[in-house]
Structure 1
Amino acid sequence: MPGTRHRHTARDTNRTRKGDVMSHVAAPQTAIPIRFTDLTQSGLKDDQLFNAHNADGYLQGMLRCVDLVKRKVASVDRPFTGVLPEEMKARFALVDLDRHLGDLDAVLDEVEHLYLDDAVYFHHPRYVAHLNCPVTLPAILAEAITAPINTAVETWDQSAGGTFIEQHLIDWTTQRIGLGPRADGAFTSGGTQSNLMALLLARDRYCAGIEGHIGNQTHGLPAEAGRLRILASQVSHFSLQKAAALLGLGHNAVVPVACDANYRMDTRALEREIERCRRDGLIPVAVVATAGTTDFGSIDPLNDIAALCRRHALWMHVDAAYGGGLLVSTRHRHWLAGIECADSVSVDYHKSFFQPVSCSAFLVRDRRMLGHVTYHADYLNPASQASEGTPDLVNKSLQTTRRFDALKLWMTLRLMGADQLGELFDHVIALAHDAYRALQDDSELEIAVAPQLSTLVFRYRPETPVPDDVLDAANAYIRQALSRSGEAVIAATRLDGHQFLKFTLLNPETSVADLQVIAERIKHHGANYLTRHALTTPAHARATRALS
């Protein structure tokens, strides 16, 4: 009937076409009639859902978003505006999320005001604070593909080609490391999750060998769990303590091992700690070697640690979240010698591979160890699928729902190649060493140690003697002053109980000249602090005379 929309019924559903003949099959009786929603008739709007009907809207919206980002990036003249938390919080008090704006231009204006105007821009050459990097163009383009398709890679039936792209990258990384033919792994959210997986596997491998213990997965931890110990350098990442707590072992299960003058684990101290643990009735189960500590970029002596782990039958994990970029370096790959001996490795592609957050991986020498994180759910990844060979990535991951982060690295490698990525990392390593040479003779800067990767730890220390507590306060003030002015963003750390500053260099656009400018501003703010705050106090004046 003209103007009348045909209503799809259960009877229509049971018609099947065979050639040119329509076969009618009797509809089964059902208590609930099958209905198909007509969004037009129901009044439900779907104009903001991504689908074929809204492809033109998607294109136009993306172009406007890209134009906004392009305009903002082109106008950035400093890495940060210096806005304070309380200043920004006041803006959000005016936002009522129960009242929508209803217009993309209004939404983008709000995003610009609430986010982009005061964003921290990692691509700016004077952002030198944390392990944040400018990102490759192909990786950004990959995000433009993965977001609308919204692939979830936990199971084959949600991912298909995405499954094999991730697996191929895992295999490529394990080959670069040299873990051997039985190696495997999974993409993770970052080094914290990767380190958690490493310690979980180390714990469960040991506990599986305890006589009479059926297994941690089904029966929980054995009585011996309170005596398990993990050994790591005194400057290892804090995620190890967090992981130990999550695993039921506690922060104190992580035993700090002394370092040498370059903040590399002292293997003689490691052996002493292993022996001390055993004398005290404790059970060492793993050693975590760091390939690129957060503060110093130091790389522990991997070959020597591997030899000790073999001798004492300990799991060896290498936290290469930062230094993993050396896997594609043509100049410094040999700095990772010994990483091939590891039982497991963490790599953050979103650091030294210049990928957007998040893009990381956990790799393991023996894929069978990943069974410690496997659980078969009948609705998702039944055991029957695994026995049939279905490649469900959830079987080797702590996460269930997981983004298709692998496409970023895939497109980067396919467009740029591994060598070009390695050259970018080599460049920032060279930059750190050039900056060290340029600043080491400055009489008002005290450099803690020569750089190893791309970090430089130092502090402002004027030639005039200053009490330690005042000097600590001055260096804390310097970082705050730089951030508030927006002229630079730098990091800070504590060394031997004292406040130090830090350049973390992952931007190839940063130059030695940029760092020299920042150094001059550091000295300027430091001198201002001492003049305006410290020198006006009688206690400081007395302490200064005592030091003279």
Structure 2
Amino acid sequence: MHDVVDALGERFRTTERAASAKDRFGLQAAVDAVDLDTPGVGNTAALREIDSLYADNAVWFHHPSYVAHLNCPVAVPAVAAEAMLAAINTSVDTYDQSEVATSGGTQSNLQALFLARENVLARLDDARSDDGSDTRRGGLPRLRILATDQAHFSVARAAFLLGLDAEAVVTVPTDAAGRMDAEALRASLLAIDANGAIPMAVVATAGTTDLGVIDPLEPIAEVCEAANVWLHVDAAYGGGLLWAPRRAHLLDGIGRAASVTIDFHKTFFQPVSSSALLVRDSAAFAPTIHHHDYLNPETEAQSADAEPNQVDKSLQTTRRFDALKLWATLRARGAGEIGAMIDTVCDLADEVRELLEDQADFEVLGGSDLSTVLFRFAPPNADRQTCDELVPIIRRVLFRSGRAAVARTVIAGTPWLKLTLLNPDTGIDDITAVLDLVRATGHGILAGRTLEGGAA
């Protein structure tokens, strides 16, 4: 353990690239060359081997030139807690496997929509006539989930896994910034009702993956309460603003939701994975409760001193004590410091956006409530189609070189490069260096095309 920690510490101290820059096929060959069917090589040799195979070829989220996806550098106390919980190997599904431990939660969006589905079906069952009809079979095809086109893909996947129809996810229009339009939501709910369908849930997003914007939670909550519809807020990205001194107000209204998803491994600087599903009314967990004599006998659950079994609150059984990492970070650093770090990365995004707007060879898209910046290399001598084609090429060239990791996406048919800024130690000079690499790479590609055209 000490050898591994020392080796990792040296790598963090000396790494100079966001990625290894090694050939993908060479990496595959190196992995394939290891024969796991041979006798063991011993602890020291095995750990040195995975250091060479894995750590030497990792993507380093702490590096200032890693600005691609929603991956954050992690707080040291959380890493120490990770080692502790892995060594002890607690499973938090039942009290007699964990005692003091409680779960951080996983699969939050799926479980929230499962609870919403069961809530609606229970209401249908209570209201049905005594004709013996099967409300579950008859109700499932009529259920609808409302979300914008900026909602996370897990919403559509959850609808599929929950047995809903292909058209179950209804797209709610957005405003010019990409936020859900509350009045359009109201109209969509009325249209669903008029068509004989049933609104199962509304999914508002507090921090969209691409644009980094937050749906207007207060107006959406008012619409949902008036229509008696389950409101789920996917705050996987933006949940960290709850602690941010200057931006917490952007989540006003989140307390009115029936359920909320928060990923602590995004804006709370926790190792993957650490996430939670928060439910306003604990009685909503009732559909997840199943009793088994070998795990959580029903007779014991009904006793006055019943043990608190987390298996009653999750779709999983065996699962890690991931909440320990967040606990350790909060005790060591405090919520105020974590919140200030979140404000810092959001401030950096604002500064980068202003910088890009002053660059003649860059184009920047809109604003963000969080730490996302969408931009692209667009020199005056290149037409729109050329700029579109350059986006994935620039991203690939930079990543394969190991010099920088940026992401890319498509908004309304237009490709964009994306910076996701989650490192509070990264400054404007670091991002300027990344932008210089993007610019140089773009000009290099254009120059190569010009030479090819001339040669032709």
Q: In the alignment, what sits opposite 2:356?
A: 439
Question: How far did residue 100 of structure 1 move?
Answer: 3.7
Question: How far did residue 268 of structure 1 move?
Answer: 2.1
The residue matched to 1:132 in structure 2 has which SS? coil
Q: Kindly provide the amino acid, as one letter, of the partner of residue 528 in structure 1.
A: G
Matching of residue 66 in structure 1 with residue 9 in structure 2:
no
CA pair 307-474 structure 1, distance change in 2 beyond 3 A = same
Residues matched between the structures, number = 448
Question: How far did residue 406 of structure 1 move?
Answer: 1.0
Once the two structures are superposed, the pairs formed by residues 324-339 of structure 1 within 5 Å of their partners are: 324-339=239-254
Decide which of 293, 317, 322 is 1:405's aligned counterpart.
322
Decide which of 194, 207, 211 is 2:121's aligned counterpart.
207
Matching of residue 530 in structure 1 with residue 446 in structure 2:
yes
Structure 2 distance, partners of 1:273, 1:134, is 40
Q: In the alignment, what sits opposite 1:98?
A: 37
Once the two structures are superposed, the pairs formed by residues 244-259 of structure 1 within 5 Å of their partners are: 244-259=159-174
The answer to which of 287-296 and 523-532 deviates more is 523-532
Question: How far did residue 534 of structure 1 move?
Answer: 7.2
Structure 2 distance, partners of 1:517, 1:82, is 18
Q: In the alignment, what sits opposite 2:54?
A: 115
Q: In the alignment, what sits opposite 1:197?
A: 111
The answer to which of 458-467 and 487-496 deviates more is 458-467
CA pair 220-396 structure 1, distance change in 2 beyond 3 A = farther
Structure 1 distance, partners of 2:3, 2:433, is 36
The residue matched to 2:199 in structure 1 has which SS? strand
Decide which of 247, 272, 275 is 1:360's aligned counterpart.
275
Q: In the alignment, what sits opposite 1:515?
A: 431
Structure 1 distance, partners of 2:276, 2:151, is 18
CA pair 360-524 structure 1, distance change in 2 beyond 3 A = same
Question: How far did residue 342 of structure 1 move?
Answer: 0.4
* Aligned Cα root-mean-square deviation (Å): 1.8
Question: How far did residue 438 of structure 1 move?
Answer: 1.5
Once the two structures are superposed, the pairs formed by residues 429-468 of structure 1 within 5 Å of their partners are: 429-468=346-385
Structure 2 distance, partners of 1:417, 1:519, is 34
The residue matched to 2:204 in structure 1 has which SS? strand
The answer to which of 313-322 and 323-332 deviates more is 323-332
Question: Relative contact order: is structure 1 or structure 2 higher (C-alpha 8 Å, sep ≥ 6)?
Answer: 2
Decide whether the 8 Å contact of 2:125 with 2:135 is kept in 1.
Answer: no
When Rg is computed on C-alpha atoms for both structures, the one with the higher figure is: 1
Decide whether the 8 Å contact of 1:241 with 1:250 is kept in 2.
Answer: no
Structure 2 distance, partners of 1:231, 1:146, is 38
Question: How far did residue 252 of structure 1 move?
Answer: 2.5
Decide whether the 8 Å contact of 2:356 with 2:363 is kept in 1.
Answer: no
Cα displacement string for residues 487-537 of structure 1 (whole angstroms, at most 9, x for unaligned residues): 110111101112111000000111111111111211221122223237846
Q: In the alignment, what sits opposite 2:231?
A: 316
Question: How far did residue 231 of structure 1 move?
Answer: 0.5
Structure 1 distance, partners of 2:414, 2:356, is 20
Structure 2 distance, partners of 1:75, 1:303, is 47
Q: Kindly provide the amino acid, as one letter, of the partner of residue 83 in structure 2.
A: A
Decide whether the 8 Å contact of 1:257 with 1:266 is kept in 2.
Answer: yes
Structure 1 distance, partners of 2:271, 2:23, is 26
Question: How far did residue 272 of structure 1 move?
Answer: 2.1
Decide whether the 8 Å contact of 2:115 with 2:287 is kept in 1.
Answer: yes
Aligned identity (percent) is 45
Decide whether the 8 Å contact of 2:124 with 2:135 is kept in 1.
Answer: no
Runs of 4+ in 1 over 3 A off after TM superposition: 211-214, 533-538
Decide whether the 8 Å contact of 2:104 with 2:321 is kept in 1.
Answer: no
**Structure-2-length-normalised TM-score:** 0.94
Structure 2 distance, partners of 1:220, 1:348, is 35
Unaligned 5+ segments in structure 1 are 1-61, 167-185, 542-548
The residue matched to 1:209 in structure 2 has which SS? helix
Q: Kindly provide the amino acid, as one letter, of the partner of residue 68 in structure 2.
A: A
CA pair 424-224 structure 1, distance change in 2 beyond 3 A = same
Q: Kindly provide the amino acid, as one letter, of the partner of residue 197 in structure 1.
A: Q
Q: Kindly provide the amino acid, as one letter, of the partner of residue 118 in structure 2.
A: D
Question: How far did residue 467 of structure 1 move?
Answer: 4.0
Question: How far did residue 251 of structure 1 move?
Answer: 4.5
Structure 2 distance, partners of 1:155, 1:533, is 63
Structure 2 distance, partners of 1:63, 1:499, is 46
The residue matched to 1:502 in structure 2 has which SS? strand
Q: Kindly provide the amino acid, as one letter, of the partner of residue 122 in structure 2.
A: A
